[in-house]
Amino acid sequence: MAMGSLVCAPGSSNAYQGSKEGKLRKIRLYLAVWVAKLAFLAIRLMKRQGSHMPGYLALKVFPDLLAHLAKPKRIIVVTGTNGKTTVVNLLAETLAGEGLATIDNRLGSNTDAGVASALIQGVYWWGRTKADVAILEMDERSARRILPGVRPEFLVCTNLTRDSVKRNAHPEYIAWIISGGITPETTLVLNADDLICARIGGVDSRRVLFGIDRLPSDTTTPSGVARDLAICPNCDAELVWDYWRFNHIGHAHCPSCDFASPQADYRVTAIDRAEELVELDLDGRAGSARLLNDALVNVYNQIAVMAVLDRFGVATDRILAAFDHLSVPATRYSAQMIGEVTLVRQLTKGVVGVACSRAFEHIAAAPGPKALVMNIDELTDIRSDCENICWTYDADYEYLADPSLRRIVIGGVRRYDQALRLAIAGVDPKIMTTVAEERAGADLIDLTGMARVYNLHSVHNTVVTGDFVQARLLQRLREAS
């Protein structure tokens, strides 16, 4: 890498030297960066947000930008169906706390254009890179457009579970796409408990595995509507589960061949929810740390971050201490007490049945009577798109058929589909109210006698609906306390 030059050419620092074509390509690279930086200035002057557009313009000018742009010496890319943004946030905050200059795309697009925008923001106008490390979130389907050019030191895959049927088909297909973009110098940091995620890459790929040991809530008999790996990928025999957590997450083995879940290098050995602690085995070293959040997906996110930090070179005691002040992004999950009531904001990835199932399970497991404002439509800010509602039948709405859930207000254009699915799952229609305007649920929900109130929203309506509902519920609870 040429620290004083815009160019970081693959294979040779002289790749642009000596030929007319090389000089023209170098000019196009400079032009692409300047076009993007001018676009950033224009966006700021207009007081708009547009992290995708500068990178999009730069790639139009110079399609090979990601391969040739000067980049930090160390790059971490994070992908997976769920947890990408949380892991990027936690890594960026921790590494910045270690005194490193970081760049990331956690507030913007995770496609090739968003990654290009982040990397361009990480260089000066004259070409020198500003950062020691880049932490980049990557959409799973963008792997072949991003990984060969970026060539990260670490690629973290949080999980690969059933996603939008319109877009991501099946997690095995997504694993194939990711594997096709991996370069030899990259170390894979993978979820050992995810039978699909743990197998991405080639036979020669370097792997670091993380997971969670058997929990009291685990079973040996799968349940629920989604199970994306049920037979052995080697011989097609039905897998036997040593312990099953959800979907295809857990530990399994094949009774007919040697296929089995791999053993994790970095493990959560126990979760103490009362004391808010996780017990750990970090590649043979025991320890404990503050539990960020007791939702299992966030426990996986936490141990994934620890695995990366350890292999990155951060001291063990500093890794453990970092979690004393880290937190899951508030737009993803937050809980606060107002008088005797806990107000919980929880994000789930709409049109993704497995993600919604985890959110529903977490809500049902909490103690005390509960009220739920549910807005997990995907049309709030995507007016030209059409949502395929079949994903609701990939989600375990049955978790919400719990007697502790006393009231549900369902908002949005798909409110009747959601109400029908809840009724099929066994939820009493008498506790359900439907409303066309998503934000209206914050005023319609009856909060009387509730121990916990949930604001459940999706990614696409985080700001438009999630922020508004959270502020209004908080105001109502404060007025009542």
- 10 Å CB burial of residue 324 (0-12, 13-18, 19+) is exposed
Residue of 74 and 26 predicted with greater confidence: 74
Q: What is the pLDDT of residues 409-419, one digit of tens each?
A: 999 988 999 99
Q: pLDDT tens digits for 272-300?
A: 999 999 999 999 999 999 999 888 999 99
- Identify the domain boundary among 269, 299, 322: 322
Q: Clarify whether residues 163 and 263 are in a common domain.
A: yes
Q: How confident is the model at residue 8 (pLDDT cuts 50, 70, 90)?
A: low
Mark which of 295, 322, 349 sits at the end of a domain.
322
- To the nearest 10 degrees (0 to 180), the angle between helices 84-97 and 296-312 is 40
Report how far apart, in Å, the C-alpha atoms of 462 and of each of 89, 328, 447 are: 17, 15, 22
Lowest mean pLDDT among 8-17, 46-55, 177-186, 279-288: 8-17
347 and 301 in a common domain: no
- Do 309 and 338 lie in one domain? The reply is no
Evaluate whether residue 307 is within a structural domain.
Answer: yes
Confidence at residue 238, expressed as pLDDT on a 0 to 100 scale: 96
Looking at the predicted structure, is the pLDDT value of residue 13 above 70? no
In b/e form, how buried is each residue of 442-464, taking b as 16+ CB within 10 angstroms?
Answer: beebeeeebebbbbbbbbbbbee
Please determine, for residue 15, whether its predicted confidence score (pLDDT) is greater than 60: no
Task: Report yes or no on 32 lying in a domain.
Answer: no
Residues 265 and 396 in one domain: no
Rounded-to-integer distance, Cα 296 and Cα 285, Å:
22
310/344 same-domain check = no
Which of 297, 322, 347 is the C-terminal boundary of a domain? Answer: 322
Structure confidence at residue 384 (pLDDT): 58
Average pLDDT over residues 321-343: 92
- The average confidence (pLDDT) of the chain is 91
Residues 6+ apart with CB under 8 A from 1: 8, 70, 71, 73, 129
Q: Tell me, yes or no, whether 19 lies in a domain.
A: no
What CATH number does the domain containing 364 carry?
3.90.190.20
Asked if residue 327 belongs to a domain, the reply is no
Domain contains 60: no
The domain of 435 spans: 333-480
Confidence label for 12 from pLDDT (cuts 50, 70 and 90) = very low
Per-residue pLDDT at 2 exceeds 60: no
175 lies in the same domain as 99 = yes
User: Bigger pLDDT: 266 or 414?
Assistant: 266
- Whether 55 maps to a domain, the answer reads no
Q: What is the rounded distance in angstroms from the CA atom of residue 150 to the CA atom of residue 146?
A: 6
Q: pLDDT tens digit string along 341-387?
A: 999 999 998 888 888 999 999 999 999 999 999 999 765 545 556 66
Q: Are residues 350 and 292 in the same domain?
A: no
Residues 359 and 473 in one domain: yes
Q: What are the tokens at 271?
A: 């979760």
Are residues 475 and 375 part of one domain? yes
Residues 125, 160 within the same domain: yes
Does 135 reside within a domain?
Answer: yes
Does a structural domain hold residue 64?
no
Q: Which CATH number belongs to the domain containing residue 284 in this structure?
A: 3.40.1190.10
Percent of the chain whose predicted confidence (pLDDT) is above 70? 94
Using the 8-state DSSP alphabet, how is residue 216 labeled? T
Poorest-confidence range of 41-55, 71-85, 235-249? 41-55
Q: Tell which residue, 381, 444, 380, has the closest CA to residue 412.
A: 380
For 185-236, the pLDDT digits (tens) are 999 999 999 999 999 998 899 999 999 999 999 999 998 888 899 999 999 9
Could you tell me how many helices (H) and strands (E) the chain has, helices first? 13, 17
Identify whether residues 342 and 227 lie together within a single domain: no
The total of structural domains in the chain comes to 2
- In tens, the pLDDT along 128-151 reads 889 999 999 999 999 999 999 999
Regarding whether 302 and 446 lie in a shared domain, the answer is no
Give the confidence band of 9 by pLDDT, cuts at 50, 70, 90: very low
